[in-house]
Chain A
Amino acid sequence: MDDMLALALAYGLLIALLLGHSILTALRMKDLDARLKAAVESMESASKVREGSDLSEE
């Protein structure tokens, strides 16, 4: 293989390693953000259900 082509490939792979890490971290953050929102929503609905059952008992 041509030396310069091999070098360009190596550079491409090394930069893909760095940028790929950033992309994967960003995707993981997006996933966690969605899970956080879902957890907050289920906490809110759980507290509403509790409040409703407290009122009906009264």
Chain B
Amino acid sequence: MSAADRAIPWLLGIGSLGLLVTVYLALVEAPAMGENAGFTAPEAYRILFIHVPFAWVSFTGFALLFGGSLAWYLRRSEAGWRLGVTGARLGLLYSLGVLISGPIWGAAEWGTPWDFSDVRLNTFAVLAGVALFVALGERNSEDTAEIRDSLSAVGIFGFGLVPLTYMATRWWQERHPGPVIGGGEDSGVDPFILQIWLIGAASMQILFIGQTLMTMRLLRMENEVEEMLTILEA
């Protein structure tokens, strides 16, 4: 067993523990936000303590999908292909977290779970669609170089939505709140709230690394089983 494989349970354990701490801080320690803070739903904002880390970490998944797809497309790298598939699966998982938690807050704060005129919401949904397409395409198609090329192309071009999603609230802000970090003079957030976000994001990122190593190992094992079955059938 390699050092990376041995690290998996530790990463999953530390990440999960950190998430439990985040839940406690978000539901118990964080203050309620009344109308004076510009919120109409004083408690619902607490869902953002998990929504924001989900969103930040989902971009790591999309970055893996992009890097892995590029490695397969340019170098025919098997490890690159496995990395791309891992990025698609985990990018989908974490973007599902974003797409479940976001509308919960939207429904309470805006009175509607989704706004089809908001660019940030829509580009992120399409990005999740890209991850869904690659993840399902890989699972349900024959494993050929042509299929891998097509799915990698979707992963590479789909990544173009990442900078667009990041900049959307700066260029066309409708419903989704503007940037709170690096968003200019009007941006900023209470230090305690930022601290909970950072604890949540760090915990989720550690969990994500553990899940990445685990998924890469799973894909390697699937490959080994297939190779063995081919030899046995021959």
Contacts and interface: CB of A to CB of B under 8 A. Distances in A.
Given A14-B101, A15-B19, A43-B231, A26 B214 contact: yes
B23 to A, nearest CB: 5
Contacts of A21: 93, 211
Interface of A: 3-4, 7-8, 10-11, 13-15, 17-19, 21-22, 25-26, 28-29, 32-33, 35-36, 39-40, 42-43, 46
Interface of B: 12, 16, 19-20, 23, 26-27, 41, 43-44, 46-47, 50, 54, 93, 96-97, 100-101, 104, 204, 207, 210-211, 214-215, 217-218, 221-222, 224-225, 228-229, 231-232
A15 B228 CA distance: 36
Contacts of A42: 232
Contacts of A40: 228
Nearest to B222: A32
A48 B104 CA distance: 62
B218 A32 contact: yes
Contact of A15 (B23, B43, B231): B23
A15 B16 CA distance: 9
